[in-house]
């Protein structure tokens, strides 16, 4: 069986992205590899071994066009209201909390927040299939 180990996104500004992911989700640099032309950063926290890989291309000066193919990266939290309030107070401008029902039953409580490069991150209440 395959084991999911990381997802990767390209970012324009290393420090700005590191600050965002640390403040928003408590992700720290697990490894950093500088190849001169580009840097690979692997971020994680104690909640999971799954990592977010940030790729920073040295010669890049323009923001990446995200297009319409990228969906989102998702994290789960114990208290959706508290996390929404914390990100709001931190000035990270999360979207409103929403609820998704399926066949009349609660499937998910969630909100989205965008990182400095415009990538959307879904923040889900840790319940049901989103534990």
21: CB partners within 8 A, 6+ apart? 27, 43, 52, 54, 115
pLDDT computed for residue 27 by the predictor: 97
Domains of the chain: 1-60 (3.10.180.10), 70-131 (3.10.180.10)
Residues 71 and 7 sit within 8 Å (Cβ to Cβ): no
- Tell me which of 47, 53, 95, 122 is the catalytic residue: 122
**Residue 4 banded pLDDT, cuts 50, 70, 90:** confident
Annotated catalytic, 14? no
**Paired sense of beta strands 73-77 and 98-102, if any:** unpaired
45: CB partners within 8 A, 6+ apart? 25, 26, 27, 28
- Reported as a single tens digit per residue, the pLDDT across 76-104 is 999 999 999 999 999 999 999 999 989 99
pTM: 0.90
- Reported as a single tens digit per residue, the pLDDT across 6-53 is 999 999 999 999 999 999 999 999 999 999 999 999 999 999 999 999
pLDDT computed for residue 68 by the predictor: 82
pLDDT computed for residue 40 by the predictor: 96
């Amino acid at each position: 069986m395959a084991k999911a180990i990381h997802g990767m996104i390209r970012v324009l500004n290393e420090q700005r992205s590191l600050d965002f992911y640390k403040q928003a989700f408590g992700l720290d640099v697990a490894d950093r590899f500088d190849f001169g032309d580009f840097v690979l950063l692997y971020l994680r926290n104690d909640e999971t071994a799954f990592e977010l890989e940030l790729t920073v291309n040295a010669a890049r000066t323009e923001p990446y066009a995200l297009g319409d193919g990228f969906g989102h990266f998702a994290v789960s939290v114990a208290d959706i209201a508290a996390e929404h309030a914390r990100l709001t107070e931190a000035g990270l401008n999360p979207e409103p909390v929403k609820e998704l029902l399926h066949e009349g039953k609660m499937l998910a409580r969630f909100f989205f927040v965008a990182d400095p490069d415009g990538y959307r991150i879904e923040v889900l209440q840790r319940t049901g299939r989103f534990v």
